[in-house]
Amino acid sequence: MTDFTDFIEDAELVDIQLAGDVFTWKKGEGHDPAARLDRFLISEEWENTFKNIKQSTLQRVISDHCPLLLECERWRPQFIARNGKMISEGDNIMLQSQFTEDEIKDCVMACAGDKAPGPDGYTMAFFITCWEVVRKEVVAAVQNFHDHDNSQLST
């Protein structure tokens, strides 16, 4: 047992105070003898990283050992917000607004004609050439995707 104690001291580990049952192991129904065999040992660095560390025993169900619960205030480094540049309210509204038919048409017309946007094999040249025929369906599909984050394209 002194080797284990020496190891804990050499590693500069700290035993967290235990809340709940004083013992983590009890023999038999009468609970005599009993001992604290289970524990969390933490370093100073760990203690500084995770605040409000609590160790407690849970209800003993089947085993002769109490399960231990370790709780901390936070599990990740705190996010520090930076007050950098922000977009204006007007820009925010514009970015969230529905695409206009002209914006959609400009995007379609700017695409290379030999590119196929999906598995149906229709190239952009088809959409460019037949814009007046497919315009309503293309605009409706783009606006539906914008409004519902859902693509109902052909499969």
Predicted pLDDT at 113: 80
Model pTM? 0.41
Successive 10-residue mean pLDDT values, the chain, 155 residues? 86 86 75 79 86 84 81 69 79 89 93 76 88 94 82 52
Give buried/exposed letters for 64-77 (b at 16+ CB in 10 A, else e): eebebeeeeeeeee
Specify the pLDDT at position 134: 94
Distance CA 144, CA 137 (A): 10
Q: Scanning the structure block, which residue is given the tokens 């370093």?
A: 43
Residue ranges of the domains in the chain? Answer: 2-71, 98-148
What is residue 151's predicted lDDT score, i.e. its pLDDT?
59
**Helix (H/G/I), strand (E/B), else coil: 2:** helix
pLDDT at 155: 44
